[in-house]
Amino acid sequence: MQATFRLFHDFAGSAVESNGQLKVDEYLRVDGYTDIYAIGDCNNTKDIKLGYAATEQAKLLGKNFVCKATDKPETPWKEGQCLC
């Protein structure tokens, strides 16, 4: 955990919470960055930290990349969407 926290902190600075997770916005973008995203265990969403949540976040992110490339509106991640 310490090595991961240091790596994230060196990379993202204030976007890293004290528990080592990256702060993300509703589109899973890392706080302070426009084209860097975090899914799964490393982000600070309130979802379960299991592969299922990461998979669902990845699916949405893939769709949003297409939307972004074609100038269509992106869909936000619903906080707590994967609370099982």
pTM for this prediction: 0.79
Q: Give the count of beta carbons closer than 10 Å to the beta carbon of residue 14.
A: 9
> Do the domain assignments include residue 78?
no
Q: Does 81 reside within a domain?
A: no
Task: Report whether pLDDT(9) > 80.
Answer: no
Burial 60-78 (b: 16+ CB within 10 A, else e): bbeebeeeeeeeeebeebe
Query: How many domains does one find in the chain?
Result: 1
Tens-place pLDDT, residues 15-40: 888 888 899 999 999 998 899 999 99
In a domain, 41, yes or no: yes
- Domain containing 17 — which CATH number? 3.50.50.60
Residue 19 lies in a domain: yes
- The residue segments making up the domain with residue 43 are 2-69
What is d(CA 35, CA 39) in angstroms, rounded to the nearest whole number?
13
